[in-house]
């Protein structure tokens, strides 16, 4: 986009430290304009930055002289390599106490829980009434955690996602896991081999490696260890 | 209490038009049950169809009587109120659940919201509050006070922060430190670790100190506990250590 004239007929007003400074990061121009208009209409708010992508937002934030009395509103729909989660993570690292409110419209809680995980202070669905959206911005600035406009069961689902243990790197290879899964059924090495289309000897090699890795001395030991470690889920009835 | 959002209040159809809202009251204190029953008797739309004093009894009566609203205490003999809700929520019923609890702590409020209660009242509230809340919950409104909702969200925020810090901690551990943690879990002494890894005992001790520092723990048991919590310890090894002990 080119700048037609250099004449700043309407120079932006100087930021007013009394007012809450809103940094708006929203890829959709119309939505961005709408939120900006809404925020500017509040006597206690002013829009300091409007950005359409992550790096632009980060750069603008770094150049701001103001250090407090600000809140960042980030739509989770920024995509590409520097997506919304990247931006939230970067902001959280560089501005640890800056209030960050994620927004967007989602049918699934996964994206929202990721946003909270990387450092957002809350989430507001963009489908809420405007006054509720503005209220979410104000409360985020005050340090509250917002979860607004989402289905009632999301609190529990997000909490469960956040609490699930860090994904364990499986110590077993995919093939070993396959062998062990079949071994649970109590088949002989020969039968396992037939099932997986490999030689009996290959199966026994796999099994002894599995035992070694899991620190087990028997098939049952390996199964217990793998199950305890969450590597193996045994179907009931087998 | 206002519920935020477009999707939040899609009230499932309750009992057929004009029919009474059927209420089941669960509390281990008969006197509290009486009070709640009294509160409901004042409202023409509410009909108390049963009472229960324990968790198992609550589950049983929910299944046989299929109430519209369950008024539930958290501290119950047998199965806790939270576990009662968890089980009922797995059953896909349209049952509304109002927690009426003596507890006002953050964890009770958060966990109630988390497992899917439709409302939360503290027993310090008035009798009229209870009846109004039963009616609100029956109509599909969530009854969490502004304070309770704030608390539930706050705890969720803390959970997110802890989980973020844990992930950061995990990524800050070196390969050697992870190895050492694994060996600690197996019950090896520093001397044994040193010979296993082919380094000096002093080096092992430095690694252990750094590891404890990063995990923010002070003892072996704490380190192992933290390691399992973070999914850092391969349980197969841990299990063997347990077997040999």
What does the pLDDT look like over A196-221, one tens digit per residue?
889 999 999 999 888 887 777 777 77
Q: Answer yes or no: do A156 and B6 touch at CB < 8 A.
A: no
- To the nearest whole angstrom, how far is the Cα of A31 from the nearest Cα of chain B? 18
Average pLDDT over residues B73-83: 94
- To the nearest whole angstrom, how far is the Cα of B230 from the nearest Cα of chain A? 6
- HSE, CB side, 13 Å, CA atoms: give it for residue A47: 20
Report yes or no: B26 and B71 within 8 Å, Cβ to Cβ: yes
pLDDT of residue B1: 45
- Residue linked to tokens 């997986």: A196
The predicted-structure confidence for B197-230, as pLDDT tens digits, reads as follows: 999 999 999 999 999 999 888 888 888 878 877 7
- To the nearest whole angstrom, how far is the Cα of A163 from the nearest Cα of chain B? 7
Average pLDDT over residues B72-95: 92
Q: Is B26 helix (H, G, I), strand (E, B) or coil?
A: strand
* Residue B3 binned pLDDT confidence (cut-offs 50, 70, 90): very low
pLDDT of residue A4: 47
Residue B238 pLDDT > 60, yes or no?
no
Report yes or no: B110 and B156 within 8 Å, Cβ to Cβ: yes
Q: Is B71 helix (H, G, I), strand (E, B) or coil?
A: strand
Tell whether A45 lies on the interface with B, counting CB pairs under 8 A: no
Q: Answer yes or no: do A168 and B231 touch at CB < 8 A.
A: yes
pLDDT of residue B30: 95
B160, B175, B238: best to mutate for the A interface, most A CBs within 10 A: B160
Maximum distance among all alpha carbons in chain A? 86
Residue A134: both structure tokens together: 């503005």
**Core vs surface per residue A95-129: b (16+ CB within 10 A) or e:** beebbbbbbbebeebebbbbbbbbbbbbbbbbbbe
Residue B188 pLDDT > 90, yes or no?
no
* Residue A12 binned pLDDT confidence (cut-offs 50, 70, 90): low
Average pLDDT over residues B152-158: 95
Residue A150 pLDDT > 60, yes or no?
yes
Give the number of beta-carbon pairs within 8 Å between A and B. Answer: 119
Chain A residue with CA closest to B234: the answer is: A229
DSSP-derived letter for residue B8 is T
pLDDT of residue A29: 95
DSSP-derived letter for residue B143 is B
pTM of the model: 0.70
Q: Answer yes or no: do A125 and B152 touch at CB < 8 A.
A: no
More confident residue, B178 or A73: A73
Residue A12: both structure tokens together: 């932006």
β-pairing, B69-72 with B96-101?
parallel
Among the listed residues B138, B60, B58, the one whose alpha carbon sits nearest the alpha carbon of residue B95: B138
Among the listed residues A235, A238, A214, the one whose alpha carbon sits nearest the alpha carbon of residue A224: A214
The predicted-structure confidence for B102-140, as pLDDT tens digits, reads as follows: 988 999 999 999 999 999 999 888 888 899 999 999 999
pLDDT of residue A18: 82
- To the nearest whole angstrom, how far is the Cα of B161 from the nearest Cα of chain A? 7
CA distance B17 to A26: 46
Q: Answer yes or no: do B167 and A117 touch at CB < 8 A.
A: yes
Chain B residue with CA closest to A222: the answer is: B236
Q: Answer yes or no: do A162 and B159 touch at CB < 8 A.
A: yes
**DSSP letter for each residue of B164-225:** HHHHHHHHH--HHHHHHHHHHHTT--HHHHHHHHTS-HHHHHHHHHHHHHHHT--SHHHHHH
Q: Answer yes or no: do A117 and B164 touch at CB < 8 A.
A: yes
Residue B80 pLDDT > 50, yes or no?
yes
pLDDT of residue B219: 85
- Beta-bridge mates of residue B122: B101
Nearest to A145 among B156, B167, B232 (CB): B156
Which whole-number Å values give the CA distances from A151 to A108, A147, B7, B116, in the listed order?
10, 10, 6, 11
Nearest to B156 among A119, A159, A167 (CB): A159
Q: Answer yes or no: do A215 and B4 touch at CB < 8 A.
A: no
Report yes or no: B185 and B237 within 8 Å, Cβ to Cβ: yes
Phi/psi at A59 (5° precision):
-65, -45
CA distance A75 to A72: 10
pLDDT of residue B184: 86
Contacts of B120 (CB under 8 A, 6+ apart): B98, B99, B101, B109, B112, B113, B143, B144, B145, B148
Contacts of B38 (CB under 8 A, 6+ apart): B127
- HSE, CB side, 13 Å, CA atoms: give it for residue A116: 31
Residue B174 pLDDT > 70, yes or no?
yes
Phi/psi at B234 (5° precision):
-75, 120
Residue A230 pLDDT > 90, yes or no?
no
Which range among A123-132, A159-168, A224-233 shows the weakest confidence by mean pLDDT?
A224-233
CA distance B187 to B221: 10
Q: Using CA atoms in the order A125, A129, A131, A132, what is the torsion angle rounded to 10 degrees?
A: -40
Describe the strand order of the beta sheet including A100-104 as a list of residue ranges.
A45-51, A20-25, A70-75, A100-104, A122-125, A146-148
- Beta-bridge mates of residue B50: B24
Report yes or no: B236 and A226 within 8 Å, Cβ to Cβ: yes
Residues of chain B that touch chain A, judged by Cβ-Cβ distance less than 8 Å: 3-8, 110, 113-116, 118, 142, 150, 152-154, 156-157, 159-160, 163-164, 166-167, 170, 229-232, 234-237, 239-240, 243
pLDDT of residue B5: 39
pLDDT of residue B163: 86
Q: Is A160 helix (H, G, I), strand (E, B) or coil?
A: helix
B141, B234, B237: best to mutate for the A interface, most A CBs within 10 A: B234
Report yes or no: A120 and A75 within 8 Å, Cβ to Cβ: no
Chain A residue with CA closest to B239: the answer is: A225
Chain B residue with CA closest to A122: the answer is: B157
Nearest to A216 among B159, B232, B236 (CB): B236
The predicted-structure confidence for A168-205, as pLDDT tens digits, reads as follows: 455 677 788 888 888 877 788 999 999 888 999 999 99
pLDDT of residue A228: 62
Tell whether A132 lies on the interface with B, counting CB pairs under 8 A: yes
Residue B240 pLDDT > 80, yes or no?
no
Residue A8: both structure tokens together: 């700043």
Among the listed residues A44, A4, A45, the one whose alpha carbon sits nearest the alpha carbon of residue A22: A45
More confident residue, B241 or B29: B29
């Amino acid at each position: 986009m080119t700048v037609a004239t250099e004449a700043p007929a309407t120079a932006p007003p100087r930021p007013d430290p009394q007012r809450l400074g809103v940094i708006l990061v929203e890829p959709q121009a119309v939505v961005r304009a709408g939120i900006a208009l809404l925020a500017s209409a509040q006597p206690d708010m002013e829009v300091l930055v409007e950005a359409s992508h992550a790096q632009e937002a980060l750069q603008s934030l770094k150049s701001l002289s103001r250090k407090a009395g600000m809140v960042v509103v980030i739509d989770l729909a920024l995509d590409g390599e520097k997506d919304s989660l990247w931006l939230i993570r970067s902001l959280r690292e560089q501005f640890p106490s800056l209030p960050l409110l994620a927004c967007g419209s989602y049918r699934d809680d996964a994206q929202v829980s990721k946003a909270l995980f990387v450092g957002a202070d809350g989430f507001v669905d963009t489908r809420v009434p405007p006054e509720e959206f503005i209220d979410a911005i104000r409360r985020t600035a005050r340090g509250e955690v917002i979860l607004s406009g989402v289905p009632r069961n999301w609190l529990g689902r997000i909490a469960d996602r956040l609490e699930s243990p860090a994904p364990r790197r499986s110590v077993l290879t995919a093939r070993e896991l396959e062998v062990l899964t079949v071994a649970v059924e109590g088949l002989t090495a020969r039968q396992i081999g037939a099932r997986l289309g490999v030689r009996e000897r290959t199966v026994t090699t796999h099994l002894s490696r599995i035992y070694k890795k899991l620190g087990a001395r028997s098939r049952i030991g390996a199964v217990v260890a793998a199950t305890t470690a969450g590597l193996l889920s045994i179907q009931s009835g087998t | 209490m206002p519920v935020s959002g477009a999707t939040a209040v899609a009230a499932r159809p309750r009992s057929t038009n004009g029919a009474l809202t059927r209420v089941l009251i669960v509390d281990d204190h008969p006197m509290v049950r009486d009070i709640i029953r009294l509160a409901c008797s004042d409202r023409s739309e509410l009909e108390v169809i049963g009472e229960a004093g324990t968790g198992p009894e609550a589950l049983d009566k929910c299944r046989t009587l299929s109430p519209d609203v369950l008024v539930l205490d958290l501290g119950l003999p047998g199965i806790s109120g939270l576990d009662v809700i968890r089980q009922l929520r797995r059953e896909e019923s349209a049952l509304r659940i109002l927690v009426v609890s003596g507890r006002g702590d953050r964890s009770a409020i958060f966990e109630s919201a988390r497992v899917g209660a439709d409302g939360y009242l503290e027993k310090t509230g008035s009798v009229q509050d209870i009846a109004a809340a039963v009616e609100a919950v029956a109509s599909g409104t969530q009854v969490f006070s502004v304070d309770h909702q704030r608390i539930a969200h706050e705890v969720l925020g803390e959970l997110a922060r802890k989980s973020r810090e844990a992930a950061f901690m995990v990524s800050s551990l070196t390969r050697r430190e992870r190895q050492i943690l694994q060996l600690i879990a197996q019950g090896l002494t520093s001397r044994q670790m040193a010979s296993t890894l082919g380094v000096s005992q002093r080096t092992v001790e430095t690694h252990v100190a750094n590891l404890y520092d990063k995990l923010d723990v002070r003892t072996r048991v704490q380190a192992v506990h933290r390691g399992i919590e973070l999914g850092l310890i391969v349980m197969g090894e841990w299990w063997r250590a347990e077997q040999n002990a």
